[in-house]
Structure 1
């Protein structure tokens, strides 16, 4: 025997035979929206990863210690222009040989101060046998096998000066500025690349040369 439904309970009578059924909900737009959202988030994450990686600060914490010889007297302004204000005393030294004295100086980027990308500056100051030393260093620079070599004389710098550019197939760029003044030879080797939107890019050659020349002029002034 059928029992009546509880008081207040309402039962929807079934539709009569042949009555049209309500349409089922189409979930395709929801699925498409979810997929689109995932793709957008993935693209944004990839963009952020590539951008942050390319523009990361590659500098080192500021080092202590004193740079040797003429290295210590290079003005901060010249090093800032080269974006290598972080002196490296451990890689800098003065060597006295039989017929000449050579001072080696090394600088790189200071973290938080010299920007992204990469910059390194290495310099050599040789006193004695300058004519032979100048020719030797120019010839040695031209033998670099890391890229396309070009060189040209520099006016208004010492008694004679040459810039040797090494233009790599990648973003890497190197310039050697070699100067002879009296009995002193100065060579500044400036290397690096700039940060692009998603990767490294080649620096501006004019700015690169000006930075290396500025360090060379500062070293000549101390010699």
Structure 2
């Protein structure tokens, strides 16, 4: 005769020690919600904007540095000829052309007159950005014809609009010829006759702007050229 199972036989025996216990989840239990995934769009947009800003800043910086680079050359040695060597440093500094060029300056004695040519440009690290060049000519002898010839020659310049006007208080007679182009380029010629001597100063150049060259101030430009003409007249 079969004996009934012992009391509690239908229950599962407890697991041996060291085995994990199977836990019952309470009624109504819900798992912890997962945190929402972060939206990466603002980060990507920020990176793109940052790259664009850096690119624009780099472009502007490159253009600015290029426009404002020092166009001068190292100070030359050698001696300028004749009256060229005696031009005061202050007059050259005002014209921003303190770098004498002996190779392009010479003195020549011809049949009825003597002609001295002088050339200056910018000294690197001293005369600033932009561009300046100064050429001067001193002719002694046959001054009447030489003065008219040089004024006429200056007015034949085809680089821009020609403006001519007389200058007072400079030699026996003096003329300023302004070549005003559509570009940043500017040229002023000062031609002076004093007795039997003619002096001509050609001053050319442009200034640096934020992102390119710009036209210099005409008044300052002419004053620099006139100062050089006065300095040369004082030496003859």
Q: Same fold (TM over 0.5)?
A: yes
Of 91, 95, 103, 1:90 maps to 103
Counterpart in 1 of 2:176? 163
Counterpart in 2 of 1:3? none
Distance in 2, matches of 1:109 and 1:168, equals: 22
Distance in 1, matches of 2:124 and 2:36, equals: 64
Q: Secondary structure, in 3 states, of the residue corresponding to 1:64? A: coil
Alignment of 1:56-71 (within 5 A): 56-71=69-84
Distance in 2, matches of 1:195 and 1:153, equals: 30
Counterpart in 1 of 2:13? none
Counterpart in 2 of 1:128? 141
Distance in 1, matches of 2:140 and 2:202, equals: 18
Structure 1 residue 182: deviation in Å?
Answer: 0.4
Of 28, 35, 40, 1:27 maps to 40
Structure 1 residue 24: deviation in Å?
Answer: 2.8
Q: Secondary structure, in 3 states, of the residue corresponding to 2:198? A: strand
Q: Secondary structure, in 3 states, of the residue corresponding to 1:116? A: coil
List gaps (5 residues or longer) in structure 1: 1-6
Q: Give runs of ≥4 in structure 1 deviating > 2 Å.
A: 19-25
Counterpart in 1 of 2:55? 42
Counterpart in 1 of 2:234? 221
Distance in 1, matches of 2:35 and 2:141, equals: 100
Structure 1 residue 168: deviation in Å?
Answer: 1.1
Counterpart in 2 of 1:101? 114
Q: 1:192-213, CA deviations, whole angstroms, 9 ceiling, x for partnerless residues?
A: 0011111111100000000000
Structure 1 residue 22: deviation in Å?
Answer: 4.9
Distance in 2, matches of 1:170 and 1:154, equals: 26
Of 188, 207, 215, 1:175 maps to 188
Of 65, 68, 83, 1:52 maps to 65
Aligned pair count reads 212
Counterpart in 2 of 1:81? 94
Of 220, 225, 228, 1:207 maps to 220
Structure 1 residue 47: deviation in Å?
Answer: 1.2
Q: Which one has the largest radius of gyration?
A: 2
Counterpart in 1 of 2:154? 141
Structure 1 residue 31: deviation in Å?
Answer: 0.7
For the aligned residues, what is the CA RMSD? 2.1
Q: Secondary structure, in 3 states, of the residue corresponding to 1:161? A: strand
Structure 1 residue 99: deviation in Å?
Answer: 1.1
Of 124, 128, 147, 1:111 maps to 124
